[in-house]
């Protein structure tokens, strides 16, 4: 990953390269942005830029021995830590180092991946992955080693908000005063979930979504999407790259979410108990993360209903069957019930994260939705 491979964010690239030129490199930096913003790719490009032996004013050289090792993510002074959980192969005592191969594989495929894709890669979609105490011990062990061949030793921590709270104190000291020539590049999707003690020690690089135009260009240049379709998809997704890629690949998962959501709303509205129970049975068998991402999909639809009801239909980024559904569905989501519906979904996500029984949770929510959807606007 070089800066030229990072989609958009020209201002941030300038700022980062300028910092390196002026030797003002913060020892703990937090790249903060949703998975679609490219926070991880930007952090990786920055790491390479710092380590490159022949960097130019704007980017690494791409050719020196350091760059070649970065191409394979096999540079001895680049260390990765990320959330993990026991899977089929490693049933206990897991930590990042057991999954380095999977991590490299996914990153080399494309550094633009979502949290859910990482869980899938680990084979733990229905588990909570964390950065655990053993990872913290490993971070400290890593810092005990000398850097091999570069001016800096770089520790990349992906999804630092998943750091197990009880383990965090182990690394606070090194984050505050790392050994010489050590850089922490942390990546996070959600600032609110990061421990304050970590946050206060980091310099923040905040990423907005890349511009739609840049995303459209990337879809065409890198993924061979025909320019007109690329612009359309970039618009539909508001510049959300992973979502755009999903649409390009006609992602079946997204379609499945839509079909499942439509089925659920219809049987909830009709209070068709037999159908509701059948639907609940089906969704209960999906993994927990899948269920959470399904709720996120639902929240997206509710947001769009609100836009639709307030005559802001032009802001809606949907087409085809989803759009037709939204037009018919939006009258049932109105100013008298929206907040309660959204709240019910957020509560459900909260309880799922705390291992609530999905059958009870979805059944209960179905009956709540039935009541709420019958609250008319007038």
Q: Which stretch binds Zn ion (CB under 5 A): 67-75, 143-151, 248-256, 332-340?
A: 67-75
The nearest distance, CB 185 to Zn ion, in angstroms, is 18
The nearest distance, CB 152 to Zn ion, in angstroms, is 14
Q: Which of the residues 349 through 368 are near Zn ion (CB under 5 A)? A: none
Number of H helices, E strands in the chain: 17, 5
Binding mask 167-206 for Zn ion (x = CB under 5 A): ----------------------------------------
Among 64, 102, 195, 199, binds Zn ion (CB under 5 A): 64
Lateral strand order in the sheet of 203-206: 78-81, 153-158, 182-188, 28-32, 203-206
Three-point CA angle 186, 251, 90, nearest 5°: 50
Q: Which stretch binds Zn ion (CB under 5 A): 59-67, 171-179, 242-250, 256-264?
A: 59-67
CA 198, CA 345: separation in Å to the nearest integer?
Answer: 30
CA 366, CA 272: separation in Å to the nearest integer?
Answer: 10
The nearest distance, CB 50 to Zn ion, in angstroms, is 11
Among 12, 16, 28, 60, binds Zn ion (CB under 5 A): 60
The nearest distance, CB 20 to Zn ion, in angstroms, is 13
* Residue (52 or 265) nearer to Zn ion, CB: 52
The nearest distance, CB 63 to Zn ion, in angstroms, is 6
Count CA atoms within 13 Å of residue 214 on its CB side: 17
Please report whether residue 67 would count as binding Zn ion according to CB under 5 A: yes
Please report whether residue 78 would count as binding Zn ion according to CB under 5 A: no
The nearest distance, CB 180 to Zn ion, in angstroms, is 23
Q: Return the closest-CA partner of residue 369 out of 285, 267, 274.
A: 267
CA 372, CA 278: separation in Å to the nearest integer?
Answer: 21
Q: Three-state SS across 111-154?
A: CCCCHHHHHHHHCCCCCCCEECHHHHHHHHHHHHCCCCCCCCEE
Under 8 Å between Cβ of 248 and 233: yes
The nearest distance, CB 53 to Zn ion, in angstroms, is 6
Structure tokens at 295: 């709720």
What are the beta bridge partners of residue 156?
A: 80, 185
SS3 state of residue 155: strand
Length of the chain measured in residues: 378
Binding mask 28-57 for Zn ion (x = CB under 5 A): ------------------------x-----
The nearest distance, CB 60 to Zn ion, in angstroms, is 5
Please report whether residue 61 would count as binding Zn ion according to CB under 5 A: yes
Q: Could you tell me which residues come within 8 angstroms of residue 19 by beta carbon, excluding any fewer than 6 positions away?
A: 25, 26
* Residue (49 or 332) nearer to Zn ion, CB: 49
* Residue (55 or 317) nearer to Zn ion, CB: 55
The nearest distance, CB 61 to Zn ion, in angstroms, is 4
Number of residues interacting with Zn ion: please give it, by CB under 5 A: 5
Q: What are the distances in angstroms from CA 276 to CA 27, 267, 363?
A: 53, 6, 7
Q: Which stretch binds Zn ion (CB under 5 A): 29-37, 58-66, 115-123, 314-322?
A: 58-66
Q: Which stretch binds Zn ion (CB under 5 A): 19-27, 62-70, 147-155, 179-187?
A: 62-70
* Residues at the interface with Zn ion (CB under 5 A): 52, 60-61, 64, 67
């Amino acid at each position: 990953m070089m800066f030229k491979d990072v989609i958009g964010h020209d201002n941030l690239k300038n700022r980062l390269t300028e910092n390196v030129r002026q030797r003002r490199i913060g020892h703990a930096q937090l790249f903060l942005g949703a998975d679609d913003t490219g926070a991880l790719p930007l952090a990786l490009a920055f790491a390479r830029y710092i380590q490159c032996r022949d960097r130019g004013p704007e980017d690494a050289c791409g050719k020196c021995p350091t760059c070649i090792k970065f191409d394979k993510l096999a540079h001895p002074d680049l260390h990765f830590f990320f959330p993990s959980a026991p899977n089929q192969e490693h049933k206990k005592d897991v930590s990042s180092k057991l999954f380095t191969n999977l991590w490299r594989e996914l990153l080399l495929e494309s550094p633009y991946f979502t949290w859910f894709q990482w869980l899938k890669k680990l084979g733990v979609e229905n588990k909570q992955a964390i950065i655990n105490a053993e990872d913290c011990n490993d971070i400290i062990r890593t810092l005990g080693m000398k850097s091999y061949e570069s001016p800096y030793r770089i520790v990349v921590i992906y999804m630092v908000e998943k750091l197990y709270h009880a383990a965090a104190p182990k690394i606070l000291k090194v984050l505050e005063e790392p050994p010489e020539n050590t850089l922490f590049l942390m990546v996070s999707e959600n600032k609110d979930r990061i421990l304050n003690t970590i946050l206060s020690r980091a310099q923040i690089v905040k990423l907005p979504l890349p511009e739609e135009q840049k995303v459209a260009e990337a879809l065409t240049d890198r993924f061979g999407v025909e320019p007109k379709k690329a612009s359309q998809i970039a618009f539909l997704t508001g510049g959300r790259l992973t979502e755009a890629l999903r649409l390009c690949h006609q992602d079946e998962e997204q379609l499945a979410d839509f079909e499942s959501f439509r089925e659920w709303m219809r049987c909830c509205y009709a209070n068709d108990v037999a159908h509701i129970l059948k639907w609940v049975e089906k969704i209960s068998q999906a993994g927990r993360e899948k269920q959470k991402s399904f709720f996120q999909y639902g929240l997206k639809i509710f947001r769009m209903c609100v836009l639709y009801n307030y005559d802001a239909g032009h802001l809606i980024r949907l087409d085809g069957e989803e759009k037709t559904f939204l037009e018919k569905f939006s009258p049932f989501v109105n100013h008298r019930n929206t907040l309660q519906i959204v709240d019910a979904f957020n509560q459900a996500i909260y309880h799922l994260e705390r291992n609530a029984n999905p059958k009870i949770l979805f059944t209960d929510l179905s009956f709540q939705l039935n009541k709420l959807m019958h609250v008319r606007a007038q």
